[in-house]
Every structure is written in C-alpha cells, then in structure tokens.
Amino acid sequence: MAAPPKMAWRAAGGPPGDRFAGRSRNRLRGTMVKSYLAAAALVALTLTASAAWAADGALAEIQKAGVIRIGTTGDYKPFSYKGADGSLTGADISMAKDLAASLGVKAEFVTTTWKTMLDDFKAGKFDVALGGITVNPARAEVGDFSVSNVSDGKRPIARCADKDKYTTLEAIDQPTVRVIVNPGGTNDKFAHQHFKKAPIEVFPDNKVIFGQIAAGKADVMVTDGVEVDLQSKLNAGVLCPVAVKEPFTHFENAYLLRKDPALKAAVDAFMRKELDSGNWKKKLDAAMQ
Ligand SMILES: O=C(O)C(=O)C[C@]1(C(=O)O)C=C[C@@H](O)C=C1
C-alpha cells in the first residue's frame, strides 16, 4: 500500500507504525525540550563559573600567588636605582615593598629598561611598573595608572658656567650645542621632537650620563625636574639647573598597573595613605640626599 502523504502523517500524529504517534509523541517532545533546557542551563552555569574563574582579576591572581611582580629600570635616582651593593633602592622601591606588605604578598623585582618597559609590561612580565614613570597616552592605553605621586616638568641641566645660557628651547637648539639624552623614555622623545639643529647624542647608560656633561663631552640634557635638582646636588659646583622661567613641560609620575579595577583601587588607596601621612615625602626626601 502506498504511504499516505506527509501532511496526513502529521494530522494523524505520525507515520504509520510510529510508536510515538499522537499524544504520546507530543509528551515525548515536551520531555525532550525539558531535558534540552536543563542541559543548556547546566552548560550555561558551568561556563559562567569557569568564566568567573578565568576572569580572576590581577589582584586576585597576585594574592593567590603571594607575590607582586614589580617592573623597574633601576637607573633613575631618586626613584629606582642600584645601591653600592647592587641591590635595588630608591623612593619608589621602598614604596613597592610597602605596597606588597599592604596587599599581604611579597615583592619580586623584575628589571626592565625604558626602551622595553612597555613591551615587557604587555608581555605580562610584571604586574606593576614603577620608578619615576611619566603618565602618557601610550602607556595609559595598555594599563591603568595609579594616583600620581609626583608632579614634575622637564628642565635643562648643564655645567654651572652655562646655567644662564640654555634657558629656552631655541637657545639649546643650535648646531654648536651638544644635547645628550638617555634612550627609550620621554626624554628621548622630547629631545628628538624639539631639537632639529642641535646634535643629539643618545647615551646608553643613564647612571653615568651626567658625568658626560661634567666632563665636557656634552653640553646639556633636558630631563625631569626632580632629576635635575638631585644631579645638581650630587655634582655640586659642576652641574647646575638651568635658570628657565618655566619648565618646558608639565607631567605626572604614577604606577602603571595591569588593568583591573580591584588592583587600581588597592594601589590608589595605598598611594593616598602614603601621600596623606607624609610617608611618601619622607621616602623621597631621604632618596634626594
Ligand atoms: O619615560 C619616562 O617615563 C621617564 O620619565 C623616564 C626618564 C626619561 O624620560 O627618559 C626620565 C628620567 C630618567 O633619567 C630616565 C628616564
């Protein structure tokens, strides 16, 4: 016998011989829908739970590991530099240790350079970068910046005999003025942006760069005001802050953090406490000696 048309099957509740014909077929369909829904709910629940686990923020990860990894250059007095015994010291290094203690974890220092800091940060080599770091858009794009701990500006430093000579960008940007700069940071960018006629020497070792000016191998460096003041003090009578009317720029220093609202809130709370209590000022004053 020829099979009835499909429509007829549907009207009859199923093809001939279908054991789930009629009402029992509909009941089965209902049961199947229910179990699909239950399975879907289970999958959704599992996914949500594992997403929450995977999305453990940076702070939760740091606390789970018991360690906060601090990236720093170790070449910028008074913030982050190497002491006589080779160990990291400076105002921000001292802050990093206190920050770790406030989070209940250990500080592990990872040395980086101004040139590679951002790539190292993006590669996940550390949780926080600190040590006289200027807030700028390229850095703010890849991490969160904490509350600032220094407001500063770029100014020139030169041999004391020249302290009234290089007071403007025009006076510095002359073919006869030898500008010197450390590589990879905001100084480098500033020098190449503003000095077109003056020869620029990019000197690799920031720790001894000021000796080059003192020894007459270069004439002037434009750098952060804090550094100008400290190096003038450390090289008293030889190097002096150039008598500019106004710093050439204004900027803030802060700590660059892995993006995580909880980490930012914790570091900001720590920073505010250190600023309000005068602890940060004490640390900075001690490192400026
Ligand atoms: O890049 C920055 O954030 C800096 O402030 C660092 C910077 C620089 O501008 O090169 C500033 C002063 C130090 O001598 C070393 C590095």
| pLDDT tens digits for range 42-53 | 444 444 444 444
How many domains would you assign to the chain?
3
| CATH number of domain containing 69 | 3.40.190.10
Verify that 179 and 134 share a domain, yes or no: no
Helices in 110-224 by DSSP H: which ranges?
Answer: 117-122, 137-142, 169-172, 186-194, 209-214
Q: Residue 284: name the closest of 134, 144, 131 by CA.
A: 131
What is the distance in A from the centroid of ligand 1 to the CA of 60?
31
| Statement: residue 7 has pLDDT above 60 | no
| Statement: residue 54 has pLDDT above 50 | no
Whether the Cβ atoms of residue 30 and residue 56 lie closer than 8 Å to each other: no
Q: Hey, whose CA ends up nearest to atom 15 of ligand 1?
A: 76
Inside any domain, residue 18: no
pLDDT digits 0-9 by tens, 78-134? 999 999 999 999 999 999 999 999 999 999 999 999 999 999 999 999 999 999 999
Verify that 257 and 143 share a domain, yes or no: yes
Verify that 259 and 136 share a domain, yes or no: yes
130: enclosing H helix or E strand? none
Verify that 109 and 82 share a domain, yes or no: yes
Range of the domain at 42: 24-55
The pLDDT, as a whole number, for residue 39 is: 53
Inside any domain, residue 14: no
266: enclosing H helix or E strand? helix 261-277
Q: Is 185 in the pocket of ligand 1 (CB under 6 A)?
A: yes
Q: Hey, whose CA ends up nearest to atom 14 of ligand 1?
A: 76
Inside any domain, residue 258: yes
Inside any domain, residue 31: yes
Verify that 46 and 188 share a domain, yes or no: no
The pLDDT, as a whole number, for residue 40 is: 52
Say what the ipTM of the complex is.
0.98
Q: Is 73 in the pocket of ligand 1 (CB under 6 A)?
A: no
Inside any domain, residue 7: no
Verify that 213 and 264 share a domain, yes or no: no
Q: What percent of the chain has pLDDT over 70?
A: 81
Q: How many CB atoms lie within 10 A of CB 208?
A: 12
Inside any domain, residue 10: no
pLDDT digits 0-9 by tens, 133-174? 999 999 999 999 999 999 999 999 999 999 999 999 999 999
C-alpha 133/C-alpha 241 separation (Å) is 21
The pLDDT, as a whole number, for residue 153 is: 98
Inside any domain, residue 122: yes
